[in-house]
């Protein structure tokens, strides 16, 4: 193993291991054995020691399947909804919840999915998603596999949490947890692998793009193929408004015969920190907000509308055969470099970025797909992520969006919801996905003279 480290250019780590007491050296060697050294060697060469300037392609606005604005487009979306329902009934869909991230910005001391988000119930993000999965399975009488991607940083606690809650009522055979890969952080000047403690490497998850390799390692895709599944919907753990296995999105993906689809919403402002969909060198791609030139971020068309308005929610549909090509490395994803502060044995409290991390992003699969679909949905119906502890995209904004959506669904059925001067509901309202997954589900389920006059939790 020390030889392998040396031939991968990691002489310094090999020397440190030689100098350590036996037990610590063994612990480190075990971690070294778990990482893909040839990959690390390549990443260090390409992204740290001899970085080439990334060629910026020619960028244009993306083509988007817009939210229905007239009868024709409403009919198209209705058809999509029905196609999605049909695929669900036929058992052709699986759902992956991406939950391997570190949740650094939120600063919650557990897996992000354990964060209590229910405005009335305090239900965790995991419970909200599992409830949506259960409701969808029952509605369509389907065997809807729920694949949970974790990483070494949160796998044990995530599994224990699901076990403790008896999988939130889901059938054990429908839930599969798989673990994504980890990559070491390296020194920006030398490319040397860093240690966070004498006997511990500074490892972190390999990015949500790690999904493909991880599904390949866990032999998940072959299993899905045997079960006749050809659509994999993936979504992110921090967005409780997203309906898992959303029939409209799945149907739009199928009708477009896409290999990969992306669910987008309109950005609230040009400067919102959200990746936007674009056409780069003629292929669908996501451009990160950090990479979008200021003049393009603010660019508008003749009608005054933003050109790069389509923000990605991180929700995708994948054709199973396409995912398999990515998993086998036939079409590998690129890795990106991120300069971060990482506590290390030499620098326990870094004040400036002292490390380079490597991550792959799921959206980098888009330009590799033969066909893509970019599907717009109403933001207030499907997108309110929990990213930060306060301010934008925080638990407070997410709960407010959950309450607001529940209030609108109730009002659509004629209920009275008292609202304050700011337009927000005066009482917290929460609708459990097992009770209703959209406004139409509430039809006939609440009295016509229903009035909200206290905190309200609608659940079965
Ligand atoms: P983010 O990029 O927002 O990262 O992930 P994060 O880990 O939640 O939070 P920060 O950036 O550390 O504050 C978006 C989604 O992708 C998943 C996350 O769990 C989240 O659902 N993800 C991210 C993974 O599954 N694996 C990763 O390596 C990274």
Inform me whether the pLDDT recorded for 408 exceeds 90. Answer: yes
Ligand 1 atom showing the smallest separation from residue 151 Cα: 26
Q: Is the distance from CB of 117 to CB of 240 less than 8 angstroms?
A: yes
pLDDT in tens, 251-268: 999 999 999 999 999 999
Q: Is the distance from CB of 178 to CB of 3 less than 8 angstroms?
A: no
pLDDT in tens, 171-194: 999 999 999 999 999 999 999 999
With a 6 Å cutoff on the Cβ, whether 185 touches ligand 1 is: no
With a 6 Å cutoff on the Cβ, whether 238 touches ligand 1 is: yes
With a 6 Å cutoff on the Cβ, whether 207 touches ligand 1 is: yes
Range 56-386 classified under CATH 3.90.550.10: yes
Q: 3-state class of 354 per DSSP?
A: coil
Domain ranges of the chain: 56-386, 394-460
Confidence of residue 37 (pLDDT cuts 50, 70, 90): very high
Inform me whether the pLDDT recorded for 56 exceeds 80. Answer: no
pTM: 0.96
The Å distance, Cα 236 to ligand 1 centre, comes to 8
Q: What's the rounded Cα separation, in Å, for the pair 139 and 419?
A: 33
Confidence of residue 57 (pLDDT cuts 50, 70, 90): confident
> What local confidence, expressed as pLDDT, does residue 276 receive?
97
Nearest CA residue ID for atom 18, ligand 1: 101
Ligand 1 atom showing the smallest separation from residue 98 Cα: 25
Q: What's the rounded Cα separation, in Å, for the pair 312 and 249?
A: 13
Helices (H) and strands (E) in the chain, counts: 14, 18
The Å distance, Cα 99 to ligand 1 centre, comes to 7
Nearest CA residue ID for atom 22, ligand 1: 101
> What local confidence, expressed as pLDDT, does residue 458 receive?
98
Q: Which of 117, 95, 99, 124 is nearest to 393 (CA)?
A: 117
């Amino acid at each position: 193993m020390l030889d392998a480290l040396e031939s991968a250019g990691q002489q310094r780590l090999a020397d440190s291991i030689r100098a350590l007491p036996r037990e610590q050296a063994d612990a480190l060697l075990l971690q070294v054995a778990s990482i893909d050294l040839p990959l690390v060697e390549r990443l260090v060469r390409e992204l740290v020691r001899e970085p080439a300037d990334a060629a910026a392609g020619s960028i244009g606005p993306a083509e988007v399947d817009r939210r229905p604005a007239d009868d024709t487009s409403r009919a198209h979306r209705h058809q999509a909804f029905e196609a999605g329902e049909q695929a669900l009934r036929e058992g052709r869909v699986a759902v992956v919840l991406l939950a391997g991230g570190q949740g650094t910005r939120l600063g919650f001391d557990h897996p992000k999915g354990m964060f209590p988000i229910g405005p009335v119930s305090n239900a965790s993000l995991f419970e909200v998603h599992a409830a949506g999965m259960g409701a969808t399975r029952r509605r369509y009488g389907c065997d809807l596999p729920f694949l949970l991607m974790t990483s070494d940083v949160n796998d044990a606690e995530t599994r224990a949490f699901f076990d403790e809650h008896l999988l939130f009522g889901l059938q054990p055979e429908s839930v599969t947890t798989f673990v994504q890969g980890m990559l070491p952080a390296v020194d920006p000047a030398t490319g040397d692998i860093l240690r966070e403690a004498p006997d511990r490497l500074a490892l972190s998850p390999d990015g949500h793009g790690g999904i493909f390799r991880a599904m390949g390692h866990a032999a998940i895709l072959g299993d899905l193929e045997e079960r006749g599944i050809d659509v994999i919907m993936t979504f992110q753990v921090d967005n409780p408004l997203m309906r898992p296995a959303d029939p409209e999105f799945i149907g739009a993906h199928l009708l477009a015969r896409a290999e990969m689809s992306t669910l987008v919403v309109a950005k609230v402002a040009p400067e919102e920190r959200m990746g936007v969909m674009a056409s780069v060198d003629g292929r669908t791609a996501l451009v990160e907000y950090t990479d979008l030139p200021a003049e393009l971020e603010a660019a508008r068309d003749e009608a005054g509308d933003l050109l790069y308005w389509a923000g990605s929610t991180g929700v995708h549909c994948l054709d199973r055969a396409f995912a398999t090509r990515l998993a086998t490395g036939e079409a590998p994803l690129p890795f990106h470099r991120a300069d971060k502060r990482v506590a290390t044995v030499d620098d326990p409290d870094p004040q400036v970025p002292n490390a380079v991390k490597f991550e792959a992003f799921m959206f980098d699969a888009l330009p590799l797909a033969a066909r893509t679909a970019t599907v717009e949905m109403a933001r207030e119906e499907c997108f309110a992520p929990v990213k930060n502890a306060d301010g934008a995209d925080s638990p407070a904004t997410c709960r407010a969006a959950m309450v607001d959506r529940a209030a609108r669904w109730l009002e659509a059925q004629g209920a009275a919801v008292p609202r304050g001067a700011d337009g927000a509901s005066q009482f917290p309202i929460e609708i459990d996905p097992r009770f209703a997954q959209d406004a139409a589900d509430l039809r006939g389920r609440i009295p016509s003279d229903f009035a909200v006059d206290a905190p309200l939790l609608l659940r079965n």
